[in-house]
Amino acid sequence: MAQQTQIARVGEAWGEFTTTFPTFERLADASPADVLRAWRGLGYNRRALNLWRAARVVVDQHGGRLPSDVEALERLPGIGPYTARAVAAIAFGAPVGAVDTNVRRVLGRTMAGAADAVSATDLQRLADASVPADRAADWTHALMDVGATFCRTARPACDACPARPWCRFSADAIPSIAATPSRTSARNRERAVPFSSSSRWLRGRILDRLREVDGSNWLELAAPIGDHDRMAVARALELLAAEGLVERHPDSELRARLPLG
């Protein structure tokens, strides 16, 4: 839930979601439609389906208990190397390094003087070797917090950073990190397409409308939706169906519902 979503939005949703689906069994037994309705407001709806699919694998292959080793976690739908290691370290205390953007920057700067000075493979080895065997969760939280709070991409707070005594980046003459947007990025923002004109906005509105439909009923989506004409709505439904997020009616290109199974 917290991936690319503000924690303030996640907190309430987490409580409601885990009340509705308190166990892997309850989540696995639910329909995709029920899970998508419970996910409302969080965005990135494919994560909801991946969570539902992962729950079914956990129930079918692991007796309803989340596996603790990285390899088994990575085989779950929607779980990549970072998430697998974060879960293994924080939930199970496994001495593995979860490398997200913040951790990559902290380790790269501290050990090699620059965030991009170490290859991804070597950085993962470095992260794994750095984890204290008995404090994997603390180490993981600490590096994420240092990256988010002190070792920022722009305007790093080196003077206050607890990693400064060991940091090559801080010991060297700190390079000039762009403190202000470049003219190019400013121009790009000026030319950015309004969000309501984006396909992502349209897909979100379609799913919100379908969430209001009870049970297995179909909904005819009247076009236009916002700035999007009938053709754009039909194309959005086609893509949503390909991802498993909606079911389309066989006799109408604009009639759909949330998937039932």
Whether residues 151 and 222 fall in one domain: no
Q: Dihedral (C-alpha) 104, 105, 109, 113: value to the nearest 10 degrees?
A: 90
Whether residues 55 and 86 fall in one domain: yes
Whether residues 125 and 157 fall in one domain: yes
Range of the domain at 76: 7-92
Mean pLDDT, consecutive 10-residue stretches, the chain (261 aa), reads: 81 91 97 94 90 97 96 95 95 94 92 89 92 94 93 92 91 52 46 70 92 91 90 93 93 93 83
Whether residues 168 and 202 fall in one domain: no
Contact 150, 163 (CB under 8 A): yes
- Where does the chain have alpha helices with state H? 7-20, 24-29, 32-38, 46-62, 70-74, 81-92, 101-112, 120-130, 136-149, 168-171, 183-191, 199-211, 230-242
Q: Which residues contact 243 (CB under 8 A, 6 or more apart)?
A: 46, 49
Overall domain count for the chain: 3
- pLDDT for 179 equals 40
CATH number of the CATH domain containing 86: 1.10.340.30
Is residue 238 domain-resident?
yes
**pTM (2 d.p.):** 0.78
Which residue, of 122, 156, 180, is where some domain finishes? 180
- pLDDT for 44 equals 86
Longest CA–CA span in the chain (Å) reads 67
- pLDDT for 172 equals 76
